[in-house]
Amino acid sequence: MKIQNDLILRAARGEQTERVPVWVMRQAGRVLAEYRATRAQAGSFKSLLKNPDLAAEVTIQPVDIFGVDAAILFSDILVIPEAMGLPYRMDEGKGPSFDNTIQSQRDLDKLSNDYILENLTYVFDAISVIKRDLNDRVPLIGFAGAPWTIFCYMVEGRGSKTFSLSRAMLSKDPELAHALLARITDATIVYLKQQIACGCNMVQLFDSWAGILNQDTYVIFALPYIRKICDAISEVPLTVFAKGAFFSMEAMSSLPCRTIGVDWHTSPAFARKAIGSDKTLQGNLDPAVLYGSDEFIVEQTHRMLEAFGPQKYIANLGHGVYPDIDHNKLKLFIQTVQAYQFNRS
């Protein structure tokens, strides 16, 4: 069945679009009262994402409420280490944490990629429910964490401002680091391919901690593994969003993916010059703009749109929406993008 609103897919493929499409990272989340109610029904974050019917419900809520041009699967990037044999907890107000971490080859040897699909059945079941209930109104975006970001959590055991333990491993034991990154990469490819097989129309890699590395280190320990994933995923458009990695944008221009995400630190002009004219760009409004007045939000959104231009562009925030932002402000941003007419006379 043909997707009724395929603007994002066409933009990602570099085809002409009548207007700029828009979706928002973390659009299915605490900014919505409906999400909070569904999460309360589930009992916890992990219970919610492991319940296919409820995960489908919160995935579709932003489509119904905001009218965004795509749904994004409600899940978590850390399902991959858990599927490999490294379970995590999601502590309220503290974020994710791991009781065990990878510090040695012995730790790595305890992991297995043999049961990735079986251990993530709940994700694939959720995709099936989403596709049924979404009824091809808009595309469904699947996603995974990029290998470096997943590596950070598996070595550090929790979020960190510096991820110094993770960075230290790159210097102290680069062979172990590469072995772990390769294992994560292989698991991620299997995972994304199954998301696509179950119905995801495009996928995104989130490299949330790209910006804590310098350019040379990122080129050695991050980009080769992203490239391997991009090489493997040819069925649907793939977006790479490496937060804070503006220094590697020129290198990312050669990645075999369709779209490059742009964070709010990076100007549209810089991104376009670095990436070139062939790829689509996505981004990049500072989420903090949504704390401003309606007039300010409209003004800043118009400036962003003009800077990126009408084609080969997907509007989004430069990172995920913050949970305490008024959902009406987010809706204004989305509606402003969808109503905007470029003056080309």
DSSP character string of 205-228:
EEETTGGGS-HHHHHHHTHHHHHH
Per-residue pLDDT tens digits for 58-82: 999 999 999 999 999 999 999 999 9
- Does 76 fall in a domain? yes
- Does 290 fall in a domain? no
Domain of 88? 7-284+312-321
- Spot the catalytic one: 6, 69, 76, 207: 76
CA 12 vs CA 29, 154, 164, 211, 251: distances in Å: 24, 32, 36, 24, 19
**344 catalytic per annotation:** no
**13 catalytic per annotation:** no
Q: Is-above-0.75 flag for pTM?
A: yes
62/176 Cα distance (integer angstroms): 41
**303 catalytic per annotation:** no
Per-residue pLDDT tens digits for 196-215: 999 999 999 999 999 999 99
| Length of the chain, in residues | 345
- Does 327 fall in a domain? no
- Does 266 fall in a domain? yes
**153 catalytic per annotation:** yes
| pLDDT surpassing 70 at residue 345 | no
CATH number at residue 235: 3.20.20.210
Per-residue pLDDT tens digits for 111-125: 999 999 999 999 999
- Does 330 fall in a domain? no
Stronger pLDDT, 164 or 344, i.e. the higher one? 164
Mean pLDDT of 2-20: 97
How many folded domains does the chain comprise?
1
116's CB contacts (< 8 A; 6+ apart) are 80, 83, 84, 187, 190, 191
- Does 101 fall in a domain? yes
**39 catalytic per annotation:** yes
- Spot the catalytic one: 35, 88, 153, 340: 153
- Does 294 fall in a domain? no
Per-residue pLDDT tens digits for 152-190: 999 999 988 889 999 999 999 999 999 999 999 999 999
How sure is the predictor about 344, in pLDDT bands with cuts at 50, 70 and 90? low
- Does 2 fall in a domain? no
